[in-house]
Amino acid sequence: MVSIYRSSNHEATLRQTDKFVCNGRHADHHFIVAALATLAAVSGTAFAQSSVTIYGNLDVSAGKLKGGEFGVNNGINYAVPASQAATGLTNSVGKSFLSTSVLGFRGVEDLGGGMKATFNLQTGGLDLSNGNPALAFSREANLGLETGAGNFKFGRSVSTATSVMGKFDLNGISGASPTAVLGANVVNWYASSRRSDQIEYTAPAVNGLTARVSYIAKGDASTDHTFGGTAATLSAGAAAPTIANFKDRFVIGANYDQGPLSIGAVYETKNSDSQAVRDAYAVGASYDLGVAKVSASYNQNAAKGGSNIVAYTGATAASYVGKTGWHSAAGAIGGKGWGIGASAPMGALTVGVQYGENTENKTKATELFANYALSKRTSVYANYGMTKGVVQQAATAPTSNAVALGAIPADPTLFNVGMRHSF
């Protein structure tokens, strides 16, 4: 990451041996200090100490989905980019798989008295297969205030549920995450790990306990898919589709971290009076044994699974088995279920296995993964995922791509390799 600093001091202190070069001539540092002091006095401006950090993540991968060609599937969706459809260049390197490629700007200003103002702007996913910029700040766009009594965040940001529960997925909720594949993960709640119109308060940690409370304004219920679809999809059980009454949402969650033990729990109220949605909750725990780390979680999605799939999505149950890169990008399934996992570090190499079940939809999934750290910021990885109880899906045409998605076989499997760099 790259940081730019502004100091509150009007004068800069240099060592006696320091010199400044201007127009090929050396000027004594006392002259520079005096000039800076004069400039500050003339401007009459006192700059509070602040910094801006440029950060990001780049992840590029290639993979093979059962029934598809290596490199086509990108680990994100089962679609050939429209720009490549006519060229036959379907075996190109794909999009991110282990984590989303993003560019961000994070800032903090010291307001004095133990208070700080913060901001965070983070782009949507950058596509390293075709250079699609996706530079809108669709993942993070918020202001914050840090105080001794806790921290506040205002705007669009990661959901409180994801902040609380993300650590219990031992591979960072990759494209092959078993619980996410099956719709039994907090990132599946309303098909997003982000929330618009969110006000979040995080209390100071006390004896390892950190509590979070959020309020999500219903707004006009159309700012994005945070609010779960259109009038036709929110009228579960109605003879004729009608618009559901949207509601403000409230979220409460907490983490307890003490030594090798970590525990988390979160609860989010439903976003409307639709019969297809309900309050969502999740609990999880992990324990670091030294030679290995183990985890377990349980999740109830905001969208009901089973026979209610049709009511929530407005489509056939066979078309929606989860929110995952293996399947249709058109929506996320509901349901409830559990997951377990274990990972073991072996020097720079970490290997692991995770397993999940959606008990409402009678589906199962397994992930095998290996990550090798080339440095603190760069790693290579490999993933293998398999499902059971997943029905075959017909080809569909997603709204974001003119090229129809290919038909996906029953119980698909996926193999993916890639490289990731953070800065």
**If we measure between CA atoms, which residue out of 24, 47, 51 comes closest to residue 36?**
47
Asked: is 53-422 a CATH 2.60.40.10 domain? The reply is no
Q: CB-hemisphere CA count at 13 Å for 407?
A: 5
- Residue 259: predicted pLDDT: 96
* Secondary structure (DSSP) of 156-195: EEE-HHHHHHGGGSTT-S-TT-HHHHHT-SGGGGGG-SEE
- Residue 119: predicted pLDDT: 97
Q: What is the pLDDT along the chain (423 residues), one digit of tens a residue?
A: 655 444 333 333 323 333 333 334 344 545 444 544 444 444 444 445 789 999 999 998 887 776 555 554 444 444 444 444 444 444 445 567 788 889 999 999 999 999 999 999 999 878 776 676 667 898 999 999 999 999 999 999 999 999 999 999 999 998 889 998 888 899 989 878 999 889 999 999 999 999 999 999 886 544 443 444 444 444 444 443 344 677 889 999 999 999 999 999 999 999 888 787 899 999 999 999 999 999 999 999 998 876 444 443 444 443 333 334 454 333 346 889 999 999 999 999 999 999 999 888 788 899 999 999 999 999 999 999 888 876 655 554 443 333 344 555 667 788 888 999 999
Which pTM value belongs to this model? 0.77
Structure tokens at 350: 């970490």
Q: Cβ(108)–Cβ(116) under 8 Å?
A: yes
Q: Cβ(190)–Cβ(196) under 8 Å?
A: no
**All structural domains of the chain with their residue ranges:** 1-47, 53-422
Burial of 326 (0-12, 13-18, 19+ CB in 10 A): buried
